[in-house]
Amino acid sequence: MKGDFTRNTFDPNKHFLRVLMQQGRVQLDADWNEQTAILLHYLQTLAADIIGPYAGPASELGFEITPGDAQGDFKIGEGRYYVNGLLCENGQETSYLNQTDYPLSKEDDALGVGNYVVYLDVWERHVSYVEDDSIREKALNGVDTATRSKVVWQVKVKPITYNYAYCQQGTSLLGEEVSTLSRIGMSARAKQVRKDKQPCLTEPDAQYRGLENQLYRVEIHDGNTVDESGNAKTPTFKFSRENGSAIFPVNQFVYDAGSNTSTVTLEHLGRDEKLGLKVHDWVELIDDRISLKNEINPLLQILDIDVIDRKIILSGGEGMAIHQCRHPLLRRWDQRAKKNEINAEGVIEIHGNGWIPLEDGIEVKFALEDAGAIRPGDYWLIPARVATGDIEWPSTGHDKNTRIPQILPPQGIEHHYAPLAIIAATDGTVTITSDCRCSFEPLSGACNYNYFGRIGIGTDLIRPRVRGDR
């Protein structure tokens, strides 16, 4: 989540039950957020343990797939469905090509002839006032407060290329390319111990040298997908010392083909110099469509800034367009040519040849062995603290002079999947081959009424309430 947070302290392996506030103590956002995370972890784990990986209540079983009214389309029924403990609610019947949180093109995304598995892709999206202005209190005259997280469900399709497909195959129907997180790992460090005869001493520059506490975000930009020539692309990453929270709502975007530059008018230029924009900064143009389809735009570099009119000149921008209804914004990233080995697109290439410097003494290293498909958008968070001159990152070994930073998997975004149906599309008409949904009855449905209108639960007898009871 790209918010202005202190850090993310929730760790399910610690088995904390709750957060206890103490009198007269400093209140931190991390403590409140951890309490919410503890409760959500419990509720979602409980739901998954009771319900299973995916199912819905029999009385309100949602997401029924039925033939659509238009060619290459199908209907999605209203109701509820749980996927790995996450509640997905569809308030009214919709169709594949008209989903609220999955923007599709009726011309480009309509189903062609073939067999498909229809499935749910469920994930958590961070929402700030830029994406939804209703969460900002108007009485505060524009001041930003808390943000939200939202369960996003998207009904997607995947072609079936083999002869036999059954609902009993579960998520294996979706193939290996549909994964929750990339298998690439990363480690990080700031303080480095000298390897000479005085191991207890550190070099003056072998520590975090920033002037402020930061929460660094390292995010995959380009994956290692195969291009049209059959060559695997070089994966890249970008980073932000503000966890990607330095964002700027866009009022207007104009591309000039003659100069290959773009002029962007912003709602504001940041709260202060630290959270503002500078010439040579790299920024990313984002809107709801880009976020909801898990796509990326090339980074653009700031060439000039007009402070009075809140306009900035960007390099490139061909083919990019914005719609105000999609809540466009610019997100600032903090890699710079003077400090980092960035390529022409403004991002840093990932390699397995050792440590890659970020800034102020922080370095990262990626583990590419058996990484498989590397997915854009996966990220790691690195809290950096002035008081210790170090970062908060788990390491092996108890001796601080011999510790080795652990290799950690990405922290998100985690996707959850559930098959809904197997369909066949012929000449634009969709036929439902199999309904893959699972259902469950409420626990109270297992109670048996006796002749006197009582039900037995354990050793207790409970009489159902009837009309006239007080």
State both tokens at 15. 């088995």
What is the arithmetic mean of pLDDT over 368-384? 90
Residues 150 and 233 reside in one and the same domain? no
Q: Is 135 within a domain? A: yes
Mean pLDDT estimate for the chain: 88
Type of residue found at 191:
K
Q: Is 466 within a domain? A: no
Residues 249 and 326 reside in one and the same domain? yes
399 — pLDDT class (breaks 50, 70, 90): low
Type of residue found at 421:
A
Q: Is 454 within a domain? A: no
Q: Is 282 within a domain? A: yes
Residues 74 and 97 reside in one and the same domain? yes
Residues 382 and 396 reside in one and the same domain? yes
Residues 284 and 393 reside in one and the same domain? yes
Residues 89 and 120 reside in one and the same domain? yes
Strand partners, 256: 261
Do the beta carbons of residue 328 and residue 287 sit within 8 Å? yes
Confidence (pLDDT) at 402:
66
Q: Is 313 within a domain? A: yes
Q: Count of residues for the chain? A: 470
Confidence (pLDDT) at 204:
56
Q: Please name the residue that has the structure tokens 């259902």.
A: 439
Q: Is 24 within a domain? A: no
Closest CA to 417 of 118, 126, 184: 118
Which own/partner contact pairs does 162-168 have at CB distance under 8 Å and 24+ positions apart?
A: 165/115, 165/117, 165/422, 166/422, 166/434, 167/419, 167/422, 167/434, 167/435, 167/436
Range of the domain at 259: 185-405
Question: 404-405 and 114-127 as β-strands: parallel, antiparallel, unpaired?
Answer: unpaired
State both tokens at 138. 């108007």
Confidence (pLDDT) at 455:
40
Please write the tens of the pLDDT for every residue from 304-343. 999 999 999 999 999 998 888 999 999 999 999 888 899 9
Q: 435 in the Ramachandran plot: left (φ > 0), alpha (ψ -120 to 50) or beta?
A: beta
Closest CA to 297 of 349, 333, 324: 333
Do the beta carbons of residue 453 and residue 464 sit within 8 Å? yes
Residues 174 and 211 reside in one and the same domain? no
Closest CA to 340 of 358, 353, 366: 358
Strand (E) or helix (H) holding 49: helix 29-51
Residues 241 and 388 reside in one and the same domain? yes
Residues 214 and 258 reside in one and the same domain? yes
State both tokens at 260. 């290959």
Among candidate residues 405, 427, 462, the one where a domain is terminated: 405
Question: 54-57 and 439-440 as β-strands: parallel, antiparallel, unpaired?
Answer: parallel
State both tokens at 137. 């209190």
Q: Is 113 within a domain? A: yes
Domain count, the chain: 2
Strand partners, 122: 153, 416
Please write the tens of the pLDDT for every residue from 80-133. 999 999 999 999 999 999 999 999 988 889 898 999 999 999 999 999 999 999
Residues 165 and 288 reside in one and the same domain? no
Please write the tens of the pLDDT for every residue from 179-202. 778 889 999 999 765 555 454 444
465 — pLDDT class (breaks 50, 70, 90): very low
Q: Is 439 within a domain? A: yes
Query: Distance between CA 272 and CA 67 in Å, rounded?
Result: 54
Residues 114 and 207 reside in one and the same domain? no
Write the DSSP string, 354-411: S-EE-STT-EEEEE-TT--SPPTT-EEEEEEETTTTEE---EESS-TTT-EEPPB---
HSE toward the beta carbon, residue 49, CA cutoff 13 A: 6
Residues 325 and 379 reside in one and the same domain? yes
